């Protein structure tokens, strides 16, 4: 039942007709317009577990209900974004499996934080958890209460050891597309491992950051800023746990970007602790796959 109905590089969004999914579809449509790509709206439903051994054909009303959900979503976004190319699909498949599969051809996958029947109360739903852990593309999780506006800065968490280059690239490119400033947050609980870690908020060049550890961060950020000179950047060095620091910054942000070391397959939920914690609590989060460091 797997089909290839959308152009490579599209924004793919999963929906089940729930309020959380509707917000994800609306966010995905606006993002597709920003990127200048098509939008693909997917509803996947599993029937095999309920099928009879002699008949794996789902009831026609189930297929029709799925088609009605994606058609309604496409009609709504076509009204607000008439210039947007939109394709739809109702697929007989596990929802997480379908979205992970489509992520190999998508530029971005978007999901709601919780699906139908799941409370959007801070925990990620099962589909959102699996897709953020295992998608090949970046994944954006949109909470039901996510703000509609995009006026805030892009916020990104910068890894204190490896720098999270994939997440940094995504964040700079996103800020450039939006014409917004970028807030780079690096948090560490004050302890013996980071004795010279300062509290600081810096803009422009970062040569004046105190401490050797923070100087490494500043040098990395200067390199990124030279690649994207049009993006105003603010560096926040905070004596705080990374998740708490990023969630606090999300209150003013249009999106928070974090890195993840998720792996292929759906056998486990392999999000890192920071990306998982932020995705559970911030309104709009982009989870970007990172490559393991060479040893």
My answer on whether 119 and 180 are in the same domain is no
CATH number for the domain spanning 16: value is 3.40.50.620
Radius of gyration of the chain measured on its C-alpha atoms: 20
Does 285 lie in the same domain as 195? yes
Structural domain range at position 42: 11-142
Q: Are residues 275 and 160 in the same domain?
A: yes
Q: Do residue 133 and residue 187 come from a single domain?
A: no
Reduced to 3 states (helix: H, G, I; strand: E, B; else coil), residue 17 is coil
**Quick one: 40 and 138 in the same domain?**
yes
- pLDDT for the residue numbered 3: 44
Sheet order of strands, 182-187 included: 86-92, 39-45, 11-14, 108-112, 138-142, 284-289, 255-260, 154-157, 182-187, 233-238, 200-203
What is the model's pTM? Answer: 0.85
* pLDDT tens, residue by residue, 58-85: 677 788 989 999 999 999 999 999 999 9
For residues 125 and 172, membership in a common domain is answered with no
At residue 54, the pLDDT reads 52
Are 256 and 246 spatial neighbours (Cβ–Cβ below 8 Å)?
Answer: yes
Task: Point out the residues of the chain with pLDDT beneath 70.
Answer: 1-4, 47-58, 115-123, 144-150, 160-161, 163, 188-214, 261-272, 291-295
Give pLDDT, residue 269.
Answer: 35
Specify whether 159 is located in the same domain as 285.
yes
In a domain, 167, yes or no: yes
d(CA 22, CA 197): 42
> In terms of Cα–Cα distance, which of 129, 127, 175, 123 is closest to 144?
123
pLDDT of residue 142: 94
Do 41 and 116 lie in a common domain?
yes
Residue 236 lies in a domain: yes
Number of domains in the chain: 2
One domain for residues 30 and 77? yes
Q: Are residues 169 and 238 in the same domain?
A: yes
**Tens digit of pLDDT for each residue in 212-266?**
666 777 788 888 989 999 999 988 887 778 888 899 999 989 999 998 864 433 3
Instruction: Tell me, yes or no, whether 119 and 219 share the same domain.
Output: no
Domain boundary at 122, 142, 162, which?
142
Q: What is the pLDDT of residue 283?
A: 92
Residue 54, Cα to own-chain centre: how many angstroms? 40
């Amino acid at each position: 039942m797997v089909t290839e109905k959308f152009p490579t590089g599209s924004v793919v969004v999963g929906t089940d007709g729930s309020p959380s999914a509707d917000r994800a579809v609306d966010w995905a449509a606006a993002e597709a317009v920003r990127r200048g790509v098509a939008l693909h709206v997917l509803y996947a439903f599993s029937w095999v577990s309920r099928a009879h051994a002699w008949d794996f054909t789902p009831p026609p009303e189930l297929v029709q209900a799925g088609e009605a959900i994606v058609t309604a979503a496409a009609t709504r976004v076509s009204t607000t974004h008439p210039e947007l190319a939109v394709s739809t699909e109702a697929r007989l498949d596990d929802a997480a499996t379908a979205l992970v599969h489509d992520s190999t051809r998508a530029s971005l996958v978007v999901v709601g934080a919780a699906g139908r029947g799941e409370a959007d109360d801070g925990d990620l739903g099962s589909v959102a958890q699996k897709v953020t852990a295992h998608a090949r593309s970046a994944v954006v999780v949109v909470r039901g209460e996510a703000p509609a506006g995009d006026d805030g800065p892009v916020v990104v968490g910068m890894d204190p050891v490896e720098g999270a280059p994939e997440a940094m690239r995504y964040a700079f490119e996103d800020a450039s597309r939006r014409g917004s400033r970028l807030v780079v947050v690096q948090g560490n609980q004050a302890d013996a491992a980071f004795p010279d870690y300062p509290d600081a908020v810096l803009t422009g060049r970062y040569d004046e950051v105190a401490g050797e550890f923070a100087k490494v961060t500043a040098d990395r950020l200067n390199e990124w800023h030279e690649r994207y000179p049009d993006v105003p950047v603010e560096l926040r060095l905070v004596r705080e746990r990374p998740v708490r620091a990023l969630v606090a910054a999300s209150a003013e942000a249009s999106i928070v970007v974090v890195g993840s070391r998720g792996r292929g397959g759906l056998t486990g939920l392999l999000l890192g602790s920071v990306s998982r914690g932020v995705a559970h609590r911030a309104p709009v989060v982009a989870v970007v796959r990172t490559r393991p460091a060479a040893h």
